Structure 1
Amino acid sequence: MAKPGEQGGRQYTEAEVRAILERALRDAQTREVGHDELVAAAEEIGISRAAIEAASRHVALGRGEEAARAAIVARRRKGFRSHLFSFVVVNAFLFAINALTPGPWWFFWPLLGWGLGLAFHARAALSSDVSPRRIRREIERNAERARQEELRRLKEQRRVERLERKQRLEQSAEELGHAVEEGVATVLSRIAQEIRGSVPPAPAPPPDGDAARRQRIAPLDADDAEPEALDEEDAQGGARRPAMRRRG
């Protein structure tokens, strides 16, 4: 058994490094590794960041090519299944017509012609070979589809933001309107109070005809009553004077 010190001084070839890393990745617990973690692990064993970036782009491109190839093959096989279904239904219908009508058998002629085309279609659909040109076109189509989807997402996001901003503005305008109405009502109420406090009370309405005559007669009665009161006082004084003389 080799000692740890002997293992530390051992050198490995590139093939051995690749095999050891692949075996370690297989034996390790399966989990997703972030890009920064991958770069840090590579720098620990002497691989530069530029090399990791280039390798990651190559892997991403290969992943995109595999996805494009799988999409093309799936689309081909889906088209073949649709073609096969149409072939079976239509030729069964032709067979039924030929069997129910008198005359020679003729349904196998369209069956043979269509079957030949279906065989060529099956050969192309069941094959996994895809030309690089088709793969490149599929990648470009997927990139354009992703770009359009991103544009739609951004457009929808901007629409939602505009709607929220409009709602906030409408709410702010409504709150401002209520505040202005309350302020105007308060100011008008204060002005009305000040006006009521500074204006003297209004004069009483003029009396009617009978009340006016009574007010004019009342001073005359008072003047007549005053001489009568003086006459009574003089009479009482005259009566007291003879009495005083008799006592004297």
Structure 2
Amino acid sequence: MAKPDKQSGRRYTEAEVRAILERALRDAQARDVGHDELVAAAEEIGISRGAIEAASRDIEHVRGEAEARAAILARRRKGFRSHLFSFLVVNAFLFAVNALTPGPWWFFWPLLGWGLGLAFHARAALSSDVSPRQLRRAIERNAALAQREEHRRLKERRRAEQLERKQRLERSAEELGHAVEEGVATVLSRIAQEIRGSAPPPPSPEDARRGRRIAPLGAEEAGMDDAESEALGEEEADRAARRGRGGR
């Protein structure tokens, strides 16, 4: 494939394009490039989106295999180190027991037997050969772990969003309650002002004392009028009775 240069008319082969891009990536500042940026950059030099998608899938597969291989080798070496530590501690203890007790030397027999097993373990642990079956199982395990991790992050994100939504609702309810309380207080204050404005003024101390003096007098006069009315009624009844006796 040849790529024309619009400015100088020069053309490059496929190998030259790859070498130029690799050199540019090495010389550029190290940073993570997004998938959309990679697709846009490839389309500028005439590479289709489908080719970029296929190449990215291959790269992801290769990356997954490399990570799985590294995890398998690391797990092997970790197991060998644990085995070696146990071998040294136990055989040192057996040597001390054999040296402190009378009798022939016998500690080298378990040392030789265990050492043979340790040698086979070291051969397997220090080897970089990984079978395709082990790689496939490791890739599947890593994919399951990544899926669980993504699910956990999604749950945490949802939980955080729900908590934030709940806090916003609580804040809104609290602000609404404060606003209602302030509004009710304002209305009650206005009603109280209107009631105070329409009520008659309170009596002065002199009017209060004068009213207390007039009230007993009015009560006494009302009592005298009732007694006089009763006396006049009795007198009228006596006169009517005498007239009736005189006529007979």
TM-score calculated relative to the size of structure 1: 0.69
Pairing 1:100–2:96 present: no
Contact 2:42 2:52 in 1 (8 A): yes
Pairing 1:154–2:148 present: no
For structure 1, the 5+ residue unaligned runs are: 1-7, 217-248
Q: Which residue of 2 aligns with 1:72?
A: 72
Q: Which residue of 2 aligns with 1:186?
A: 186
The one of 20, 28, 43 aligned to 1:24? 20
Cα separation, partners in 2 of 1:27 and 1:166, compared to 1, 3 Å? closer
What secondary structure, in the 3-state scheme, does the structure 2 residue paired with 1:105 have?
A: coil
Q: Which residue of 1 aligns with 2:223?
A: none
For structure 2, the 5+ residue unaligned runs are: 1-8, 221-248
Contact 1:42 1:52 in 2 (8 A): no
Q: CA deviation at 1:28?
A: 3.9
Q: CA deviation at 1:90?
A: 1.0
What's the Cα RMSD here?
Answer: 3.3
State percent identity of aligned pairs.
70
TM-score calculated relative to the size of structure 2: 0.69
**Following the alignment from structure 1 to structure 2, what is the Cα–Cα distance between the partners of residues 201 and 11?**
105
Deviates most, 53-62 or 34-43: 34-43
Q: Which residue of 1 aligns with 2:121?
A: 121
Contact 1:91 1:107 in 2 (8 A): yes
Name the count of aligned residue pairs. Answer: 202
Q: Which residue of 2 aligns with 1:141?
A: 141
Q: Which residue of 1 aligns with 2:6?
A: none
The one of 40, 44, 51 aligned to 2:43? 40
Pairing 1:207–2:203 present: no
What secondary structure, in the 3-state scheme, does the structure 2 residue paired with 1:207 have?
A: helix
What secondary structure, in the 3-state scheme, does the structure 1 residue paired with 2:172 have?
A: helix
Whose Rg is larger? 1
Cα separation, partners in 2 of 1:152 and 1:189, compared to 1, 3 Å? same
**Following the alignment from structure 2 to structure 1, what is the Cα–Cα distance between the partners of residues 25 and 154?**
38
Q: Which residue of 2 aligns with 1:177?
A: 177
Q: CA deviation at 1:127?
A: 0.8
Q: CA deviation at 1:48?
A: 4.0
**Following the alignment from structure 1 to structure 2, what is the Cα–Cα distance between the partners of residues 29 and 169?**
50
Once the two structures are superposed, residues 62-96 of structure 1 have per-residue CA deviations (whole angstroms, 9 ceiling, x without a partner) of: 12111111110111011101111111111111111
Cα separation, partners in 2 of 1:110 and 1:38, compared to 1, 3 Å? farther
Once the two structures are superposed, residues 111-163 of structure 1 have per-residue CA deviations (whole angstroms, 9 ceiling, x without a partner) of: 11211211111111111111111111111111111111111112111222222
**Following the alignment from structure 1 to structure 2, what is the Cα–Cα distance between the partners of residues 192 and 121?**
94
Q: Which residue of 2 aligns with 1:54?
A: 54
* Residue identity in the other structure for 2:127: S
Contact 2:98 2:105 in 1 (8 A): yes
**Following the alignment from structure 2 to structure 1, what is the Cα–Cα distance between the partners of residues 61 and 136?**
11
Q: Which residue of 2 aligns with 1:238?
A: none
Cα separation, partners in 2 of 1:181 and 1:100, compared to 1, 3 Å? same
Q: CA deviation at 1:99?
A: 0.6
Cα separation, partners in 2 of 1:38 and 1:131, compared to 1, 3 Å? farther
